[in-house]
Amino acid sequence: MSFLDRIAEGWRKNRKPGYYENFDYHWTMTIDLDQCSGCGACVTACQAENNLPIVGEKAFAKGREVKWLRMEHYWEGEYPDVKLNIIPMLCQHCDNAPCETVCPVSATYHNQDGLNTQIYNRCIGTRSCAVYCPYEVRYFNYNDHTWDSPLDQQLNPDVSVREKGVMEKCTFCIQRVRQAKDTAKDDGRRRVRDGEVQPACVQTCPSQAMAFGDRNDPESNVSQTLAGPRAYRVLDELNTKSSVVYLKKVETEA
| C-beta of residue 69 within 8 angstroms of C-beta of residue 89 | yes
Instruction: Provide DSSP, 159-220.
Output: SPPP-TT-EE---S-HHHHHHHHHHHHHTT-SSPPTTS---HHHHH-TT--EEEEETTSTTS
Q: Rounded to whole angstroms, how far apart are CA atoms 16 and 250?
A: 41
Position among 8, 11, 37, 228 found at the interface with other proteins (CB under 8 A): 11
Cis ω for the linkage preceding 134 (within 30 of 0): no
Residues 6+ apart with CB under 8 A from 54: 47, 145, 147, 151
Position among 15, 77, 148, 251 found at the interface with other proteins (CB under 8 A): 15
172 binding other proteins? (CB under 8 A)? no
- CB of 11 or CB of 232, closer to other proteins: 11
Side by side, which strands form the sheet with 27-32? 210-214, 27-32, 244-247, 231-232
131 binding other proteins? (CB under 8 A)? yes
Position among 35, 47, 126, 203 found at the interface with other proteins (CB under 8 A): 126
Q: Rounded to whole angstroms, how far apart are CA atoms 131 and 126?
A: 10
Q: How far is the CB of 46 from other proteins (least distance, A)?
A: 16
The stretch near other proteins (CB under 8 A) out of 12-20, 147-155, 190-198, 215-223 is 12-20
Position among 30, 51, 141, 198 found at the interface with other proteins (CB under 8 A): 141
| C-beta of residue 226 within 8 angstroms of C-beta of residue 211 | no
- CB of 12 or CB of 189, closer to other proteins: 12
How many of the chain's residues bind other proteins (CB under 8 A)?
A: 60
Residues 63-122 that bind other proteins (CB under 8 A): 63-65, 70, 72-74, 89, 95-106, 109-111, 122
Contact residues: other proteins, CB under 8 A: 10-11, 14-17, 19-20, 59, 62-65, 70, 72-74, 89, 95-106, 109-111, 122-128, 130-132, 134-136, 139-144, 164-167, 234-235, 238, 241
